[in-house]
Structure 1
Amino acid sequence: MARTRDDRNRHAATRLPGLTIDSCNLALRDADGGGFIGDRASQRAFRELLDLRRRHHFTGSRDPFGRTPTDAIGKKEIDLVLVGGDPDAAHLVHAAIEDHAERLAGVIRCFLAQPEWDGVKRIVIGGGFPGNRTGALSVRRAARLLKLARAGVDLTLLRHDGDDAGLLGWVPLAPARMQRHDAFLAVDIGGTNIRCGIVAPRLDARDDGSRATVLERTQWRHATDAPDRDEAMTRTAAMLNGLIAHARTRGLRLAPFVGVACPGQVAPDGAILHGAHNLPGDWEAADFRVADALQARLDRIGGRQAQVRLHNDAVVQGLSERPRMTGVRRWGVLTIGTGLGNASYTTRRS
């Protein structure tokens, strides 16, 4: 059956007005490592590269980070080394950045070689890693390496804060009738945190969604509490119900809609087919639907039951940059975090 022109009313929509979502969550196998290609350039990979440099390539008479395990060194501590820290420590971090940038450039070339990414000319780099100085430098260096190699692709960082991008990307995904309200609810589920927010599309200010904003946001670091799946659903619904009450207090005309971004391959019926292994419990079970579990726990909005829709988290984060991509026919997103999320898009002229 032919796709409809606009399928935003279902989970994992692939066709929006003026845009097609061509692919997401491509699982490219690494023939050398046995895992996935994206793992070569993940945030964890950077830590491994820094650890390797510490063990074999530090300058001076001793490791400038002492006996602290690499995984225990804070992100801010690593960033501060680059702005006036110990020169030997700075050398290690810069060397690891160069190693990671080379890996990232290689991973990008692998994606560009896939049919789903053929013709991609611009890639948005998101996720938690580029939000730090270290990650941003790696992306800039990878962009330079790709330019020197004449790969024909530009890299750009998220314009929004990464925590907001996973919520704002629901603006083009929300059904048209929901966008006529003052705001709607969105959720960004990750392997470490779950974020919920009130998103104001502000389409009256700019109809391309570039003025959209997150009015209120709450966050739960579920990795610390190690909940089971039902506890995660109950806690997420409680966060959303708190935001529903907050919107009512503020006098916001809240749409009865919740957009949920999560890792993995989402089917049109809302099932998560694979890729949710970092989430608490079995989210890929045949009888489990995130939308149903949340909907059963949510308060009514304006007297109506909320419509809950799911999509892949990389797709949603990439869509937060859609207003900047109108002049690019084919573009993609890579999100660097625990793993490497990915999606590709085509801008349509009609």
Structure 2
Amino acid sequence: MTKKAHAPSVVGAHHGPTELPLVDIAGYNLEVEDDDGFIGDRASQTAFRRLLDERRRRLRDEGHADPLGRLPSAKLGKKTLDRALRGKAGRQAAELLRGSVEVFADELAQVVRRFMRQKSWKGVRRVVIGGGFSESEVGERTILQAAALCHADGVPVELARLRHEADDGGLIGWVHLAPPHFAEHADALLALDIGGTNVRCGIVEFRRGKAKDLSHARVARRIKWRHADDEPSRTALVDGLVNMLQEMIAWSRRHRIRLAPFVGIACPGLIREDGTIARGAQNLPGNWAADSFHLPTALREQLPLIGEAPTQVLMHNDAVVQGLSELPFMRDVKRWAVLTVGTGLGNASYVNRKPAPKEGKKNGKKGRGAS
């Protein structure tokens, strides 16, 4: 079967770029195998809930009451688990959560250690942990314990939590991927963050007047759809994305926010230059890796004009985009990475480029002015 060709969504740009003005993306969607499959699968939020279920079942098999009740762990919210961790649901529940955190922290530390042995992660000195799991107390304690385990093992890496809300990080990162002229001539851009459970759609303000490095970029408005509850088909999910974007365009007009004619899509998987997905989108409904499916085109054809120009659409991996939200704050290290603990475990690694020499300087020496 001949692969269908897709026209680029942005003239002079392509999807999934790995070379940016300030940073190179050394790798993403890294898949490291172990005896049971891919090691990253052991450190996802899904894996934590499965681990918690196993420990609860063991208690029941031993004749003890389940301190977390009847609901499966996948149905327990973060606040419920955090309360249990703090002892608000009794001593047994607290011990159950603390024990689960210890085991899961060891799994996370093992993933970091294994990734650090891969070529694209060589020399990484800081790993930012993102995804919704990192925002809970359970997630925070897991990260702290994993960091302590790495330190005890002599692994020269620092673990840190994403500074933005996880729901915002996968949107804000697009200010560093969009063509730079948009930040000079518009107030904001539209961004989508598509995950296996949720979709987030937001208006991301550049706020270039506050910081030219876009470190003050923020999400002005965000809406979230837990599509996993609705179990939509691929077509229905795409229609839902269009509706969310149209709502954001209308809201921006009412609030006089000048949108760039641009949409950035953060999506799981390995993204080809033509905007198709090579692999890694198995948590999304339908076949997103089909050569006949091209999400950027499907969205662009259904969206109205933004201003006077056709809407331009680019797509990149969701972990890459979430990591790039940290770019202005990672200038003190050469190599860094991100792990996004969500339905699956996303990953990306980066190598900072040297900043361009300031005008009037060459080879590190101050130049003379013209006479």
TM-score relative to the length of structure 2:
0.89
Match of 1:49 in 2: 51
Of 63, 72, 75, 1:72 maps to: 75
Which residue matches 1:175?
A: 179
**Candidates 152, 156, 164, aligned match of 1:152:** 156
* 1:116 paired residue number: 120
1:73, CA displacement in angstroms? Answer: 3.0
1:20 aligns with 2:24: yes
RMSD: 1.7
Q: CA-to-partner distance for each residue in 1:166-196, whole Å, 9 max, x for gaps? A: 1001011110111121111111011111111
Q: Residues 196 and 150 of structure 1: is their aligned pair in 2 closer, same or farther, counting only changes over 3 Å?
A: same
Asked if the contact 2:81/2:97 (under 8 Å) is kept, the reply is yes
Aligned residues: 342
In the TM superposition, residue 53 of structure 1 has moved relative to its aligned partner by 2.4
Instruction: Kindly state the Cα deviation for residue 62 of structure 1 after the two structures are TM-superposed.
Output: 3.4
Is residue 294 of structure 1 aligned with residue 296 of structure 2?
no
Q: Distance in 2 between matches of 1:329 and 1:274?
A: 29
Q: Is the 8 A contact 2:189 2:259 kept in 1?
A: yes
Structure 1 residue ranges (4+ consecutive) displaced by more than 6 angstroms after TM superposition: none
Out of 202, 207, 215, which is 1:202 matched to? 207
Q: Which of 329, 338, 346 pairs up with 1:341?
A: 346
CA distance in 2, matches of 1:338, 1:247: 31
Q: Which runs of 5+ in 2 are unaligned?
A: 1-10, 356-371
Displacement after TM superposition at 1:60 (Å): 9.9
User: Which residue of 2 is the match for residue 132 of structure 1?
Assistant: 136
Distance of 1:66 and 1:227 partners within structure 2: 30
One-letter amino acid of the counterpart of residue 52, structure 1: E
Q: Which residue is equivalent to 1:3?
A: none
Q: Structure 1 counterpart of 2:164, which letter?
A: H
Tell me which of 146, 165, 172 is aligned to 1:161: 165
Q: In 1, distance between residues paired with 2:33 and 2:170?
A: 26
Structure 1 Cα separation of the partners of residues 53 and 99 of structure 2: 11
The 2-side partners of 1:283 and 1:8 are apart by: 25
Q: In the superposition, relative to structure 1, how do residues 138 and 173 fare at CA in structure 2: closer, same or farther (>3 Å)?
A: same
Q: 1:191–1:279: 8 Å Cα contact kept in structure 2? A: yes
How far 1:216 sits from its partner (Å)? 1.1
Q: CA–CA distance in 2 between the matches of 1:162 and 1:134?
A: 15
Change (3 A) 1:224 1:141: same
Moved more, 293-302 or 213-222: 213-222
Go from structure 1 to structure 2 and tell me whether the alpha carbon gap of 1:207 and 1:8 turns closer, same or farther (over 3 Å shift). Answer: farther
Amino acid at match of 1:197: G
Aligned-residue offset at 1:49: 2.0
Q: Bigger shift: 189-198 or 49-58?
A: 49-58
Distance across 2 between alignment mates of 1:315 and 1:8: 21
Q: Quick check: 1:81 aligned with 2:84?
A: yes
Distance 2:320 2:63 in 1: 45
1:229-273 CA distance string (max 9 Å, x none)? 222112211111111111111112111010000000000110111
Structure 1 residues 23 and 62: CA distance shift in structure 2, 3 A:
same
Matched residue of 1:15: which SS? Answer: coil
Identify the residue that residue 222 of structure 1 maps to in structure 2: 227
What fraction of aligned residue pairs are identical, expressed as a percent? 50
Once the 2 structures are TM-superposed, how far is the Cα of residue 63 of structure 1 from its aligned partner? 3.1
CA distance in 2, matches of 1:37, 1:176: 37
Deviations 1:120-167 (A, max 9, x none): 000000011111111111011000111111100000001010001110
Task: Tell me if structure 2 keeps the 8 A contact 1:8–1:173.
Answer: no
Aligned equivalents of 2:166 and 2:209: distance in 1?
24
> Structure 1 residues 264 and 8, CA, compared in 2 at 3 Å: closer, same or farther?
farther
Quote the Cα distance in structure 1 between the aligned partners of 2:71 and 2:217: 42
Match of residue 11 from structure 1: 15
2:65 matched residue in structure 1: 62
- Residue 293 of structure 1 aligns with an amino acid whose one-letter code is A
**Compared with structure 1, are the counterparts of its residues 66 and 258 closer, same or farther at alpha carbon in structure 2 (3 Å cutoff)?**
closer
Q: After TM superposition, give the deviation of residue 304 of structure 1 in Å.
A: 1.5
Q: Which has the larger radius of gyration?
A: 2
- Give the Å deviation of 1:57: 5.8
